[in-house]
Amino acid sequence: MPQAVTCIRDASWIIAWDVSRGEHVYRRDGDVAWADDRLVQVGGHYGGTVTREISGRDRLVMPGLIDIHCHPTQTPIFKGFVEEYGNPRLFFSGRQHFRQSFIQDSAAQYASARYGLAEMLAAGTTTIVDLSHAYPGWLDLLSQSGLRVWVGPMFRSARWWTDTGQEIKYDFAPDLGRAAFAEAVSVMAEAERHPSGRFSAMVAPAQVDTCTPELLIDSVRLAKDTGRPLFTHAAQSYAEFNGMARRHDMTSVAWLHSLDFLGERTILGHAVFTDEHPWMQWPTREDIELLAKTGTTVAHCPTVFARDGTLLHHLGAYMDAGVNIAIGTDTHPQNMLEEIRLAETLARVAAGTRHTTSTARLFHAATIGAAKLLGRDDIGRLAEGAKADIVLFDLARPEMQPLRDPLRTIVHSAAERAISDVFVDGHQVVGEGRVLTIDWPQAARALAAEQKRIGDGVADLDAIAPLSLPMLAS
């Protein structure tokens, strides 16, 4: 079958990957063309036969973003409930109360994910790592979305909760961990066999503190045997750090290292509470160096932490030490451009005048940093031979004016509002700002109905999660 060739003709701006410099660069007034799923021209003039031509006038062409850490089954349905818990007792006890009361069934998970996948596409994300507990219809929904996906079915040995917010309690049931591991093994294999060809798998023991050492060790072995990347949540809370220190007399990061968990294909969400964090009463300063030395990636998702009044200290120090950073959303909104903006702003807040981050470093993290962990040199960049995962911005939109430096304007001002079109694997998934693969307005109505259905079954919901303003009688 002849190849379908699409060409964006004379794009005003291109964020191209310069192979020799090893960085993203601007190019002006050139073509971006792809045959089927692969780019054949980035910049300059494409002289080959074209099946579809798109005017690049007043357009910026950018590589699609990679959301390295998201939970679409959970986060969109929590909208309006969880944003303002803060951390009155240093840990998310208020949110925990909500999570123990607002229990989703698989219909609610599905509605949340369907909304969330559309939300990510509309915001210029083309690849995601979907960390979910397996649910019916998962792969079919991902396939329908058109996204490129690393499927990470999470498993763990213990249920956890907190009464005081100071200490995490666990109900270890290793057999359940085994059963969930077995299920994850089969879901991962199914994802890799999927005819869409856009799915890969990630080995995802859910949290460092909820898995038995045996389960973590088996996860390391599975990842090594299959070549899949390896993930866990670790160093993500004050209480987790202290609990792991009591359990093992080591930091969470050091303990994972002792299990051979760290490495070039390993990613930790979120490595905030390392021995570098100023709250930690711990004598060493070794965790960041350990992450750098082993080539471990950190999934940095600042919004969810900032809502609790916490932040990573500090991103520039991690980067300067050589830690590979990738960016994820972890909560709603699942908007990578807003997450990049907050990551850059908070890195400056945490570092003060010694800050060393920049828009370019954060954009690199959200594209190349993520691709490195995923073991791919053909995503997160616009270069000949790379996948046609592409985002177009309409530069004529008022949000994009004045236009001295479009990436800065996108990250610090416009975010996704000027996105006109998105392509994944050469296929169009967003056109004229509208998601084409999922009926997002309909998905939003379905999600609202599911949120109401689950919420109606929770006694005292307004006491658990009060409204932001008092409600008076009409």
State the Cα–Cα distance between residues 73 and 248, nearest whole angstrom: 33
Which C-beta is closer to Zn ion: that of 63 or that of 152?
A: 152
Among positions 244-273, residues that touch Zn ion (CB under 5 A) are 269
Q: Does 339 bind Zn ion (CB under 5 A)?
A: no
Which tokens sit at 269?
A: 């969400």
Which C-beta is closer to Zn ion: that of 209 or that of 330?
A: 330
43 sits in which H/E element: none
Q: Does 31 bind Zn ion (CB under 5 A)?
A: no
Helix residue ranges, H only, 352-385: 359-364, 370-374
Stretch that binds Zn ion, among 133-141, 328-336, 348-356, 403-411 (CB under 5 A): 328-336
Which tokens sit at 273?
A: 């509470």
Smallest gap from Cβ 269 to Zn ion, in A, equals 5
User: Reduced to 3 DSSP states, what percent helix, strand and coil does the chain have, rounded to the nearest 5?
Assistant: 40, 25, 40
Assign 308 to helix, strand or coil: coil
Smallest gap from Cβ 112 to Zn ion, in A, equals 14
Stretch that binds Zn ion, among 243-251, 330-338, 394-402, 410-418 (CB under 5 A): 330-338
Which C-beta is closer to Zn ion: that of 146 or that of 269?
A: 269
Smallest gap from Cβ 105 to Zn ion, in A, equals 21
Stretch that binds Zn ion, among 142-150, 325-333, 362-370, 406-414 (CB under 5 A): 325-333
> Which of 130, 308, 330, 425 lies at the binding interface for Zn ion (CB under 5 A)?
330
Smallest gap from Cβ 202 to Zn ion, in A, equals 13
Q: Does 209 bind Zn ion (CB under 5 A)?
A: no
Residue 272: exposed, middle, or buried by beta-carbon count in 10 A (0-12, 13-18, 19+)?
buried
Helix residue ranges, H only, 249-324: 252-258, 287-294, 302-306, 315-321
Which C-beta is closer to Zn ion: that of 256 or that of 388?
A: 256
Which C-beta is closer to Zn ion: that of 330 or that of 344?
A: 330
Which C-beta is closer to Zn ion: that of 41 or that of 297?
A: 297
**Cα 381 to Cα 106, 128, 249, 389, distances in angstroms:** 36, 15, 42, 8
Count residues contacting Zn ion (CB under 5 A)? 2
Smallest gap from Cβ 351 to Zn ion, in A, equals 24
Smallest gap from Cβ 5 to Zn ion, in A, equals 40
Which C-beta is closer to Zn ion: that of 37 or that of 330?
A: 330
Which C-beta is closer to Zn ion: that of 229 or that of 269?
A: 269
CB of 388 within 8 A of CB of 37?
yes
Cα radius of gyration (the chain): 22
Q: Which residue is nearest to Zn ion (CB)?
A: 330
**Contact code string over 41-80 relative to Zn ion, x by CB under 5 A:** ----------------------------------------
How far out from the chain centre does Cα 245 lie? 28
Which tokens sit at 410?
A: 């996108």
Smallest gap from Cβ 206 to Zn ion, in A, equals 9
Which tokens sit at 424?
A: 């994944």
Which C-beta is closer to Zn ion: that of 269 or that of 316?
A: 269
Smallest gap from Cβ 375 to Zn ion, in A, equals 21
State the Cα–Cα distance between residues 23 and 32, nearest whole angstrom: 18
Q: Does 421 bind Zn ion (CB under 5 A)?
A: no
Which C-beta is closer to Zn ion: that of 177 or that of 269?
A: 269
How far out from the chain centre does Cα 179 lie? 26
390-394/23-35 β-pairing: unpaired
Smallest gap from Cβ 268 to Zn ion, in A, equals 11
In 3D space, the residue among 125, 130, 196, 151 whose CA is nearest the CA of residue 390 turns out to be 125
Smallest gap from Cβ 177 to Zn ion, in A, equals 18
CB of 114 within 8 A of CB of 446?
yes
Q: Does 308 bind Zn ion (CB under 5 A)?
A: no
In 3D space, the residue among 18, 33, 52, 31 whose CA is nearest the CA of residue 388 turns out to be 33
Q: Which residues make up the interface to Zn ion (CB under 5 A)?
A: 269, 330
